[in-house]
Amino acid sequence: MRELWHPPTEHIELAQVMHALADPARLEIVARLAAGGAESCAAVGSGIELHKSTMSHHYRVLREAGVTLTTLDGRARVVRLRRADLDARFPGLLDSVLAALARPSPRQPAPTG
């Protein structure tokens, strides 16, 4: 497998990470990766109703911010979270974001049942 360009751990900047996490589609990608581990971009994006080029943009923003690591495996791109790198730079940030995603939004009623 070969890798695309990613920032070294020590060059991951908080502002870029926060920008990458500020988009609902990118947050969904991060949540799916946290739940399932490494996946192909096609598998992670399955069910997200965005054009392929828009999804590619979101994957690039996450990768260039240092949130994800993307490797090329033949024609497939396999993406995974850089959890250890993010935890080293910003302890607790990713866990806080993922925990916040699991809570119901104040604009949405909590599930009943």
CA angle 92, 57, 18 (to 5 degrees): 25
Kindly tell me if the per-residue pLDDT of 2 is higher than 80: no
CATH of 2-100, one of 3.30.365.10, 1.10.10.10, 1.10.150.80, 3.75.10.10: 1.10.10.10
Per-domain boundaries in the chain: 2-100
In this prediction, residues 79-98 reach a mean pLDDT of 96
Sheet containing 39-40: give its strands across.
Answer: 2-3, 68-73, 76-81, 39-40
What's the mean per-residue pLDDT of the chain?
Answer: 89
Which has the higher per-residue pLDDT, 43 or 61?
61
In this prediction, residues 36-46 reach a mean pLDDT of 87
pLDDT at 5: 87
Q: Which tokens is 12 given?
A: 């991951």
Kindly tell me if the per-residue pLDDT of 41 is higher than 80: yes
Q: Which tokens is 81 given?
A: 């979270």
In this prediction, residues 56-83 reach a mean pLDDT of 93
